[in-house]
Amino acid sequence: MAKIRFTLPAKPVAPSIARGTIDPLQNRLSEESYYTVQLLVTELITNSLRHAEFGIEDAIDIRIEVENGCARVSVCDPGGSAEPKLLEQDLESTGGRGLFLVDAMADRWGVDTNSRTCVWFELMAQSA
């Protein structure tokens, strides 16, 4: 089993930092699975930055576990005024495709809301 857990500042550089932080997964996943996880993590962090209501001390928490051919990822933030949900896509729009990509590429995904909002996904990953 591989576990990665890290916290990022709620700053525009967060997606870039995350891409580098998940590099150890390259040895645990096939190339396709690794790049899918990397893309979806980046999209969810970007959604957090756009939609969550961050306080001065708040951050984005990322948890990734790879076990028995499954990668489970969760991206958690303080939440916002609306729960994340999949919207119908406007083909003319240049944004708003984060959850659309998660829905299209992950095997399962969902949202947990307690004291924080966590968007998670699972990918039946091929081993490296």
What is the domain count for the chain? 1
Structure tokens at 70: 């499954």
CA distance between the termini of the chain: 13
Confidence at residue 8, expressed as pLDDT on a 0 to 100 scale: 96
pTM of the model: 0.88
Summarize pLDDT for 86-113 with one digit per residue, the tens.
Answer: 556 555 555 556 888 999 999 999 999 8
Domain ranges, residue 29: 2-124
Task: Provide the H-helix boundaries in 1-128.
Answer: 14-21, 31-51, 98-105
Low-confidence ranges of the chain (pLDDT < 50): none
> 51 forms bridges with which residues in the sheet?
none
